Structure 1
Amino acid sequence: MKQILLPLFLFASICLSAQTKYYDAAQFPLLGKVSQETETRYERLPAALNGNARAPVWALGKNTSGLAVRFRSNTTSVSAKWELLQNNHMDHMTDVGIKGLDLYAWESGRWQFVNSARPTGKSNEKPIISHMAMKEREYLLFLPLYDGVTKLEIGIDSAAVIAQPALELPQSKKAVVVYGTSITQGGCANRPGMSFTNILMRKLNREFINLGFSGNGKLDYEIAEVMANKHDAGLFILDFIPNVHASQIKERTGRFVNIIRSKNKTTPLLFVETIMFPHAVFDKATHEVLTIKNKALYEEYLKVKNSGDKNVYYLSGKNLIGADGEATVDGIHLTDLGYMRMADALYPVIKNILEKRAVR
């Protein structure tokens, strides 16, 4: 009888430890928000912009691109439950990138990819990882790039513990604020962790705030005001060229920068040219348009610099994604290869600016 009871006891113990207990992610730190005064927890723009910003910008602000939850646990498995705002789908981007989750763990001094939570509908409950050794780990969970989240729960072993992070990483002091287009927002990364702002957050171990608005990085002054109110930013990056005409660059850039500078006199500001889209090698009209727009941006940069601003920088788009034409999904939006190349190009520039800033 004892020989029978012992295996049953062990089996029951294993089943108990394997049960999943869910915790509301709202109790853990959320990185990537430019303001805490939002209508709900998981969105990017302050509530005051509702009715004051253009409707497409406000709607895209409900997307959770760049937001990430930090927690710590000794669990052997991690699962997630999440409710999506819209259950979006696009024909040139994976559902995982649009509305899935990406889990990373702090291992050997770096953020190591663990696995993704793949969505199948508006309401989702998915295992992310199982059968890990039982040890305490720090985790970073990236939220969807092109959809919103209305509710998020983190599942761990029922016998395990989940807690606030013990490490202040990525550091939130002097966050990098990036304004831009769909490329900034994350189109078309295969999974949330592969947008260039999320890659750089891990590489630099510093909070990045993603203000990319797909098709709508049009130098809206309301967004400049939001950025200006981020008084403790370490760097502002402007990467808006694909969504504006050359005339708009000339008409709006100066005022956009002045709004930011009105409350941030010395915070570094980096202008980034548009990438040269791969099909522009063959489409001469596109090549000419992009060249003209980059030239217009450089002229605006020179105006700012020549006005006496010593904290303004400029990055050419020439080498951002390589010259082999293999970095996009549709000739415009980046694949993971494109995002890795872009992050690699931005990394030394941003690192150098932040280090100069730290010396002062």
Structure 2
Amino acid sequence: MKKLHSILLVATLLLGQGLWAQTKWYNPLDGDTPNIQGRAWNKEIGKSFNRFPNRAQSTLRPAVWELSTNSAGLYIEFYTNAPSITVKYLCSGGRTLPNLTTIAVSGLDMYSTDCDGITNWCACPAAYTFGSQATDTISFRYRGFAYHNTHQRGNKYRLFLPLYNTVTHMEIGVPTDSYFKFAPITIERPILVYGTSIAQGASASRPAMAWTNILQRRFDMPVINLGFSGNALMDPAVYDLISEVDARMFILDCMPNMSQIHDSIVSRTLAGVKKIRSKSKAPILLVENDGYMYGKTNASIENECNITNIEIKKAYNQLIADSVKDIYYLTKEEIGLTPDSQVDGWHASDIGMQLYADAYTKKIEQILHYHPMPLFAPVTQRREPDTYEWAERHNAVISRNRTANPEIVMIGNSITHYWAGEPTYTPRQWGLQAWKKLFGKRKVTNMGFGWDRIENVFWRIYHGELDDCHPKHICMNIGTNNLQCNTNEEIVEGILGLAQLIRERQPQAKLHIIKIYPRRDQEGRVAQLNELLATRLPHDNMIDITDATAKLLLPDGSGKIDESLFRDGLHPNEKGYSRIIEVLRPLFK
């Protein structure tokens, strides 16, 4: 029996070595720019998993600096078609804390997004090891992945890092024959959160359940977590650093740490807001103490909460009286914690984290004017990465509109994307001469994305593609890729919803809705849809509708497309684009 056990042990070890040997490892810190999402100063921070750059150490209190080396809120995004993913890493701190799970303190959390933008949680039950010593390698092994995409390049994965430990080294491993690529670092403006241990993640059961990470997942926006356990004291040095960040919105949630210095809340809040306002016009949300759920049985602790909230409200009222713009307020009652929402009377359980996230969601939607249509919930897509990477083009469009301030913006799908223009996609410029003829030397941004649907355009606009520019004209041609999954009525509702959003974001621009172009074997349905769209157009002198259908059909009255104008029955060729510009040219005079 002993001999049998020995043979099995050796076989197991050899098998394990074989599996590791067949794995290719990728380090997110390799390369000129670290592949770390969810932090500012990413390139400056360099080859570490810290949240502040090294220069901050000399200005911060030691406790704040030490906590800033924890990886709360950081995540890594990558693409792979691997059937299994293994992550191995080292942490310098202890594996657990009294009021948090080991997974929350030192573990990982991962989500997978398919080609249509549908996201699901990935678990690895009993397939993770933490070791017994702080120097031991931690590993998480995810298995059994299957893919159902329009391509063979797998899904996008988002890997959330530990909330309360300092990662010193990490590698992601996939089978050697699997595709793997780190996703581009987003250049969207983030939501920045400055807060306490609750913001850092205490006491979520796992990293993605921290309320900042819940918000990140809900809005699919970058969220910077500057939560520092027990040390959110509104330090001037922290505000100096925060003011460097070009954020979409700032959240100041420090009251649970301010009870011992409550007499300085007003002065520190005013100074912090002044510092931020010296560099940014972004909205600032002040947040009350969430409350201690055992306060009804402990009068002194209830008083601590009330005192801090009285003071932060004074600061808010002073800012309003001083006519400081875009200052908002979140109350304890709006957060709405319950006795079941805290672990130890201070820190939020998963229930508490959800309540926090729900309260913040309502405020963020109000402040950022984020009101998506339920039918077309904003999502990303990655339907043809063999041709282009959708996220890379998203960054390119944001960058161009920030720097070029185009006169004309063209929103659409592959028919627009593969026409011509900037951001340039050199492999496919199927109507280059027509583009030059139409626009000449005008500044134009091509916001067409191959395979885009209505819901993808919603995502792109909500995520900054129309920010930082003031075009005179916006053309939109979208909906043909929704024919396979939506009714005519739904598609029209989606187009009109996009029109309303564009008018809100760019009220000075004339919006030209271009009817869906006819396509092979669906000419009749497209004609009916376009007719319905025309009847539903809102009465707005800044919106008009343009129809190129007649230019693309046979002249015999059959209602069929002229195949000589198309590459494949859907995408126009150079001759087809030349017909389209006959209709578009008068729009820009």
TM over 0.5: yes
Deviation at 1:88, TM superposition (A): 4.2
Residue in structure 2 matching 1:218, options 233, 243, 266: 233
Q: In the TM superposition, what are the counterparts of 1:253-268 in structure 2 within 5 Å?
A: 253-264=269-280, 266-268=281-283
**In the alignment, structure 1 residue 272 sits paired with structure 2 residue 280:** no
1-side partners of 2:155 and 2:46: how far apart? Answer: 32
Compare the two structures and name the one with the higher strand fraction: 1
Residue in structure 2 matching 1:129, options 109, 119, 142: 142
**Secondary structure, counterpart of 1:275 in structure 2:** coil
2-side partners of 1:100 and 1:57: how far apart? Answer: 22
**In the alignment, structure 1 residue 346 sits paired with structure 2 residue 360:** yes
Q: Deviations over 1:65-117 (max 9, x none)?
A: 01101100000011111010223431111111001111111146343210265
**Secondary structure, counterpart of 2:368 in structure 1:** helix
2-side partners of 1:316 and 1:138: how far apart? Answer: 37
1-side partners of 2:19 and 2:353: how far apart? Answer: 42
* Closer/same/farther in 2, CA of residues 125 and 255 from structure 1, 3 Å limit: closer
**In the alignment, structure 1 residue 235 sits paired with structure 2 residue 253:** no
TM-score for both structures, normalised by structure 1: 0.88
Alignment partner, residue 301 of structure 2: 286
The letter of the residue matching 1:143 is L
Alignment partner, residue 224 of structure 2: 209
Deviation at 1:49, TM superposition (A): 1.4
Alignment partner, residue 60 of structure 2: 53
Which structure has the larger Rg? 2
Contact 1:103 1:139 (8 Å CA) reproduced: yes
2-side partners of 1:24 and 1:198: how far apart? Answer: 23
**Secondary structure, counterpart of 1:31 in structure 2:** coil
Tell which has more relative contact order, 1 or 2 (C-alpha 8 A, sep 6+). Answer: 1
Alignment partner, residue 9 of structure 1: none
**In the alignment, structure 1 residue 111 sits paired with structure 2 residue 119:** yes
**Secondary structure, counterpart of 1:198 in structure 2:** helix
2-side partners of 1:306 and 1:300: how far apart? Answer: 10
* Closer/same/farther in 2, CA of residues 17 and 235 from structure 1, 3 Å limit: same
Contact 2:107 2:207 (8 Å CA) reproduced: yes
**Secondary structure, counterpart of 1:66 in structure 2:** coil
Deviation at 1:250, TM superposition (A): 2.4
Contact 2:91 2:166 (8 Å CA) reproduced: yes
RMSD of Structure 2 on Structure 1 (CA): 2.3
2-side partners of 1:342 and 1:283: how far apart? Answer: 23
Deviation at 1:307, TM superposition (A): 1.0
2-side partners of 1:18 and 1:103: how far apart? Answer: 24
Q: Which moved more, 1:23-32 or 1:42-51?
A: 23-32
Residue in structure 2 matching 1:329, options 326, 343, 362: 343
Contact 1:18 1:158 (8 Å CA) reproduced: no
**Secondary structure, counterpart of 2:190 in structure 1:** strand
Contact 1:96 1:119 (8 Å CA) reproduced: no
Q: In the TM superposition, what are the counterparts of 1:1-360 in structure 2 within 5 Å?
A: 19-27=22-30, 29-36=35-42, 37-38=44-45, 40-107=47-114, 109-115=117-123, 117=128, 119-120=130-131, 121-122=133-134, 123-134=136-147, 136-165=154-183, 172-230=187-245, 232-245=246-259, 246-264=262-280, 266-323=281-338, 325-355=339-369, 359=505
Contact 2:216 2:222 (8 Å CA) reproduced: yes
The letter of the residue matching 2:100 is M
Structure 2 gap ranges (5+): 1-14, 371-463, 468-504, 507-589
The letter of the residue matching 1:23 is Y
Alignment partner, residue 447 of structure 2: none
Contact 2:95 2:106 (8 Å CA) reproduced: yes
Q: Deviations over 1:134-164 (max 9, x none)?
A: 5601000111110111111001122101113
TM-score for both structures, normalised by structure 2: 0.55
2-side partners of 1:21 and 1:193: how far apart? Answer: 26
1-side partners of 2:256 and 2:140: how far apart? Answer: 38
* Closer/same/farther in 2, CA of residues 346 and 19 from structure 1, 3 Å limit: same
2-side partners of 1:163 and 1:33: how far apart? Answer: 20
Alignment partner, residue 3 of structure 1: none
Structure 1 gap ranges (5+): 1-11
Q: Deviations over 1:37-58 (max 9, x none)?
A: 2274200112111122101001
- The number of equivalent residue pairs is 341
